[in-house]
Structure 1
Amino acid sequence: MVKDLASAGGDDSGASGPAGGRSGVRFLHSEAAPSAQRLRLGLLLRGLRRRADLMQKDVARRLKWSESKISRIETGTFNPKAVDLEQLAALYAASCEESERLRESAAHANEPAWWQPWKGVSHPYLEAMVSCEDLAVRVRSYEPQILNGLLQAPAYARELISRGRGDQDLHEQLWQFRAERQRRFTQDAGKSFFGVVDEASLLRPVGTAAIMLEQFEHLLQLMDHGRFHLRLAEQSNPRVHTEIGPTTIFDFDEPMMPSVAYAELFDGSVAYQDTDMVDRRMQKFDALQVASLNPAATRRRLHDLLRTYPRS
């Protein structure tokens, strides 16, 4: 199920944002959500339509399409065919350069994703989130209960996965998917991660003492990596306000692609594309980051916690 939970005005309402407007909050469960690549294509087409001073119903009438088809193309839930792109480009009076960009964007949207081998075992909403992770140049994350998947050491991740659905074989496949996701992000020099780690997630053991020991050492190694910037949100600090809840913000390096926010839940995910809602989450995250321990103090706290677990 992909369900609209809220809307900040329909596409033709005249609302506009940094990328020409966006709206909607979606609860994602069992259906594939828009991939970042399809979202990018949809935003390019929406920008050209608005420049042509056309509403969705105008395009539907001229091309004899349904308004639903145009909406699904622009929101990334439907990948247009080559002939569709040609008709839209002609209607919007797109330049040769713009038409070529549309074709390139469509080609990227049609490319098989690297996670295809895991498509039978991973949740569709997770694939949508990972597509944003792939395209983003910066990821900002706060998780109040467990560590973000990009920060999890092998044993910690395996322990969490083992608590979920399925048998041991499924758990192993899910771990391999997470490991590949981590590898790709870590090796991409164009990406950075800014994370606020809640102290509660470190004080609550996941598995054995050996697992937590490995996890603390892994966090320290990531901080040495140079592109992982971690701060610790202390439980005892009254200035640390965590009402934002689990939030991951994806920032993209192109003007047409606005930031997207996700909140991963127990049985699904909430995707925020509404401009105001995403902006509020950005502000709350930045405030939480400032109130948390700086990187040097975070490192010292991690060393303190590490010493509470005796080495065998």
Structure 2
Amino acid sequence: MRPRSGPTVEHRVLAARLRMLRERAGVTLQAAAVALGAHPATVRRIERAETGLDAHQVRVLLERYAAPAEVAEGIMRALVPANLPGWWHEWRDAMQPWQQEVIGIESSAALVRTWHPALVPELLRTPDYEAALCRTLGAVPAARLDRHLELLAERRRRLHRRGAALWALFPAAALRTTVGGPAVMAEQRAALEEAAHLRRPTVQVVPLDDPPHPMTGAPPTHLLRVPEPEIGDRVVLEMPGRVVVVDEPAAVMDHRIRMDGACAVAPHPGTPLPASAEDAGGNP
């Protein structure tokens, strides 16, 4: 068994289909487990994409659920690609534990929306900005910093390559917080100005003197949308000391509404970035 690095979306889709087939057939977890000769927790792990999809087990479950032949054949054909490791598997040594849960979703998302209350959002950071921030916060061990930066660059490349939309919202205070020194900040600002001008990705910066908005006080928040009907949106909240992944539809909708509201009152995408501290006369 290969080391775990998080399920791909293909794996999650098949797991969700197996759960839906069981529920439509009116088969309980206990009854499905009896068919497998296993514990109900085994069926639960299969349906949550927490374990590899064993062909024999899947075939037994499909027979127990009386799945139509064409449906069963489609699922069995999809098993091999669904069990393949994701592209990020080789970077698992540089991944945070929570990334193993969500990077597969991000890697298939058609839209990634992100908010940071104090810093430039991660997917918009230059390598020097991210490296300086990691050193300051001690977020990544020095021995893994290069690998961490490689992974971040690969995440951005893959988002761009498949045409996924990235929409970032953050306060102008992020541009006044000096990370890594003036040269690093100048490079970061230039990258943001180019992105804002091209509107690729979409960048919105909330001015310092704007009133509170729906995301005020919210932790770093990422909303991931995957164009697969079996996969619901996910919200990732970077809380102090832990990361929370939200998949309950009503809770996800609440976060989406808040982000929509904050984006609606922020300057339109393409608006020039607020003046830097130097341009503003050095005032904080």
Deviation at 1:157, TM superposition (A): 1.4
| Residues 173-252 of structure 1 aligned to structure 2 (within 5 Å) | 173-189=147-163, 191-241=164-214, 242-252=216-226
Deviation at 1:138, TM superposition (A): 0.7
| 1:215–1:227 distance in 2 versus 1, CA, 3 Å | same
Quick one: distance in 1 between partners of 2:149 and 2:280?
25
Q: Is the 8 A contact 1:261 1:272 kept in 2?
A: yes
Quick one: distance in 2 between partners of 1:264 and 1:41?
28
C-alpha offsets along residues 92-117 of structure 1, whole Å, 9 cap, x if unaligned? Answer: 22234322442354333321222233
| 1:143–1:100 distance in 2 versus 1, CA, 3 Å | farther
| 1:111–1:212 distance in 2 versus 1, CA, 3 Å | same
Alignment-mate amino acid for residue 205 of structure 1:
T
**SS of the counterpart of 1:93?**
coil
Q: Is the 8 A contact 1:40 1:105 kept in 2?
A: no
Quick one: distance in 2 between partners of 1:151 and 1:225?
14
Task: Give the aligned partner of residue 278 of structure 1.
Answer: 252
| Structure 1 segments (4+ residues) deviating >3 Å | 31-38, 103-106, 165-169, 223-227, 265-268, 306-310
**SS of the counterpart of 1:264?**
strand
Task: Give the aligned partner of residue 279 of structure 2.
Answer: 308
**SS of the counterpart of 2:253?**
helix
Alignment-mate amino acid for residue 44 of structure 2:
S
Deviation at 1:275, TM superposition (A): 1.6
| Unpaired stretches in structure 2, ≥5 consecutive residues | none
| Unpaired stretches in structure 1, ≥5 consecutive residues | 1-30
Alignment-mate amino acid for residue 106 of structure 1:
L
Task: Give the aligned partner of residue 50 of structure 1.
Answer: 23
Task: Give the aligned partner of residue 290 of structure 1.
Answer: 264
Quick one: distance in 1 between partners of 2:103 and 2:204?
23
**SS of the counterpart of 2:219?**
coil
Quick one: distance in 2 between partners of 1:55 and 1:236?
56
Select 1:40's aligned residue among 4, 7, 13. 13
Deviation at 1:68, TM superposition (A): 0.7
Quick one: distance in 2 between partners of 1:289 and 1:185?
21
| 1:235–1:57 distance in 2 versus 1, CA, 3 Å | farther
Task: Give the aligned partner of residue 7 of structure 1.
Answer: none
Q: Is the 8 A contact 1:34 1:75 kept in 2?
A: no
Q: Are residue 256 (structure 1) and residue 227 (structure 2) matched?
A: no
**SS of the counterpart of 2:87?**
coil
| 1:71–1:208 distance in 2 versus 1, CA, 3 Å | same
Task: Give the aligned partner of residue 130 of structure 1.
Answer: 103
Tell me how many residue pairs correspond in the alignment.
276
Deviation at 1:128, TM superposition (A): 2.5
Alignment-mate amino acid for residue 261 of structure 2:
A
Could you tell which deviates more after superposition, 234-243 or 204-213?
A: 234-243
Quick one: distance in 1 between partners of 2:270 and 2:141?
41
Q: Is the 8 A contact 2:110 2:225 kept in 1?
A: yes
**SS of the counterpart of 2:17?**
helix
| 1:165–1:148 distance in 2 versus 1, CA, 3 Å | closer
| 1:167–1:141 distance in 2 versus 1, CA, 3 Å | closer
Task: Give the aligned partner of residue 74 of structure 1.
Answer: 47
Task: Give the aligned partner of residue 121 of structure 1.
Answer: 94
Task: Give the aligned partner of residue 155 of structure 1.
Answer: 128
Q: Is the 8 A contact 2:5 2:89 kept in 1?
A: no
Q: Is the 8 A contact 2:94 2:147 kept in 1?
A: yes
C-alpha offsets along residues 56-85 of structure 1, whole Å, 9 cap, x if unaligned? Answer: 223223433211111111112122201111
Quick one: distance in 2 between partners of 1:142 and 1:308?
25
Q: Is the 8 A contact 1:234 1:240 kept in 2?
A: no
Provide the TM-score with structure 1 as the length reference: 0.79
Task: Give the aligned partner of residue 63 of structure 2.
Answer: 90
Task: Give the aligned partner of residue 83 of structure 2.
Answer: 110
**SS of the counterpart of 2:243?**
strand
**SS of the counterpart of 1:270?**
strand
Quick one: distance in 2 between partners of 1:233 and 1:32?
36
Q: Is the 8 A contact 1:144 1:197 kept in 2?
A: yes
Q: Is the 8 A contact 2:203 2:269 kept in 1?
A: yes
Task: Give the aligned partner of residue 8 of structure 1.
Answer: none
CA-based RMSD of the aligned residues comes to 2.5
Identical amino acids, percent of aligned pairs? 23
Deviation at 1:166, TM superposition (A): 6.1
| 1:301–1:60 distance in 2 versus 1, CA, 3 Å | same
